[in-house]
Chain A
């Protein structure tokens, strides 16, 4: 079965600084990869997704993620963080043989210092 690891429970960055959130997955082939963001009191919003092709994918709100097959990673990045980016971020993995079932990581809470 596939699994997802987000090693960092909390990350604090200063406003304007760059950000990288880590995600590692365990799966035999290339899965479908997603990043979701959850603002306080809100549901999950899709930031970006990777299925195939260019390993650097662009998402909404200035986020991007890079798929690295050799490292089984799909790290989320943003060049300059804004205070409104403070939220919880979830990496998720899907695989064709599991149908629509997504496996989520435990999440990373991002705090932004002004």
Chain B
């Protein structure tokens, strides 16, 4: 049982390039999330989805777009990468809606923007 799988694991981009991070979960979870992790700041929510075809903004959505075309996949896009987007990106999913629902995390994507 793979859980939450993120691809790629590492990527280096040049400023202005675009890319898409893929998150896939095999737990039939309804809810999915994208976070970024920066030193000394913990994890901050970028976007989230409450179901197939739906997305919503989190705490730090600027510069990112997301899509949830299939229930098991949640894509995070950077249209024009900036050095400030250098970070480790984590995808998570949860079964239910509510603050008491534990979130299951992938292993992260380390992204560097030069």
Contact = CB atoms under 8 A, between A and B. Distances in A.
Interface of A: 4, 9, 31-32, 34, 36, 41-46, 49, 51, 90, 94-96, 98-102, 104-107
Interface of B: 4, 31, 33, 40-45, 48, 50, 58-59, 90, 92, 94, 97-108
B40 A106 contact: yes
Given A43-B107, A43-B108, A44-B90, A99 B99 contact: yes
Given A44-B90, A99-B98, A104 B107 contact: no
21 contacts: A4-B42, A32-B99, A32-B100, A34-B102, A41-B107, A42-B107, A42-B108, A43-B90, A45-B105, A49-B100, A99-B98, A100-B33, A100-B94, A100-B97, A100-B101, A100-B103, A101-B45, A101-B58, A101-B99, A104-B43, A106-B41
A45 B104 CA distance: 7
- Tell me the interface secondary structure of chain B in the complex: loop
The 5 closest A-B pairs by CB, nearest first: A94-B99, A104-B42, A43-B105, A44-B105, A104-B43
A44 B106 CA distance: 7
Given A51-B100, A106-B41, A100 B31 contact: yes
Nearest to B99: A94
A95 B59 CA distance: 15
Contacts of A9: 40
A4 B97 CA distance: 21
Given A46-B104, A102-B99, 10 more contacts: A32-B99, A36-B105, A43-B105, A96-B98, A99-B98, A100-B33, A100-B97, A100-B103, A104-B42, A106-B42
